[in-house]
Amino acid sequence: MAKKDTTKEANRPITVSDHQKLNKKGNAVNEALKLPLGDQFEADLAEILDGDSEERGETVAIALVDCDEFMHINDDFGHEAGDKVLIDTGNYLRDNAPKDAKVYRIGGDEFGIIFKGLMEREDIFLFLNDLKNNYNVETPDGVRQTVTIGMATAFVDASRCSELIRKADGAVYRAKVGGRNKIAMAREEKMIPKTSHYTQDQLQRLSKLAAKEGIGEAFLLREALDLLLRKYDQAGK
């Protein structure tokens, strides 16, 4: 039987709005794990970012953990086997998370971790690398599975919830494209002058919208571009 081509879907970074849709799926897995879900992940992260962690010198970071080539498990072994892999993955992450971290099931085959405490950024990266290397979940045929992880640090990579998640999603995307079974950190994004790409009317409307929402114009443009790319990713399937 021919297998579906899931390359585009596997490599596309999901948007913040995707998390809410994914929460509605996989109730059996959610009930077994009883982990907080994607909506709670965003709510908790937003609350932390709005708090005094930066002033207190605490490190706040997030990691998105994505099961590699998960679709083939459902296709080859059935959804019950796929659910078991997700349950085993969630338990593995929760059992091995440090005391200053909280694990969430974002949805689908993605999990999230929020770190808040005295761990340094570099120590969190090393911990996540060990977490990836020691991941010991197997499919029914005994093949050991792998995960790809994207990490972003608050107040360094971004200070807003949606922007921080977007940065971590981008890191997952780069790691997937780079071959999977990897960990990547958010990286500084090179900016180019927007005036060469937009009309004066568009820039004036953008300025008014940014002032109304109380956020930066660059943030709005990046968010819009992510939505545009997602639209054409779906159209090309």
Per-residue pLDDT of the chain (237 residues; tens, 9 = 90+): 344 444 444 444 544 455 445 545 558 999 999 999 999 999 999 999 999 999 999 999 999 999 999 999 999 999 999 999 999 999 999 999 999 999 999 999 999 999 999 999 999 999 999 999 999 999 999 999 999 999 999 999 999 999 999 999 999 999 999 999 999 999 876 555 655 677 777 888 888 888 888 877 777 887 888 788 877 775 655
Separation of alpha carbons 150 and 129, rounded Å: 11
Q: Is 109 helix (H, G, I), strand (E, B) or coil?
A: coil
Q: Are residues 139 and 123 in the same domain?
A: yes
Residue 84 lies in a domain: yes
CATH number where 16 lies: 3.30.70.270
Q: Are residues 167 and 235 in the same domain?
A: no
Strands 110-117, 183-185: pairing is unpaired
Helix ranges (DSSP H) in the chain = 7-11, 16-23, 27-33, 38-49, 53-56, 71-77, 79-96, 121-133, 161-177, 200-213, 217-235
Q: Are residues 178 and 212 in the same domain?
A: no
Per-residue pLDDT at 217: 79
**pTM score:** 0.73
Closest CA to 104 of 17, 41, 23: 41
The encoded tokens of residue 226 equal 């992510």
Decide: 109 and 86 in contact? Cβ < 8 Å. yes
The residue written with tokens 């993605």 in the block is 110
Decide: 106 and 21 in contact? Cβ < 8 Å. no
Give the count of domains, the chain.
2
Q: Are residues 51 and 153 in the same domain?
A: yes
Residue 235: domain span: 193-237
Closest CA to 70 of 165, 2, 151, 137: 137
Closest CA to 171 of 208, 212, 125, 138: 125
Q: Are residues 156 and 117 in the same domain?
A: yes
Residue 1 lies in a domain: no
Residue 225 lies in a domain: yes
Q: Are residues 39 and 120 in the same domain?
A: yes
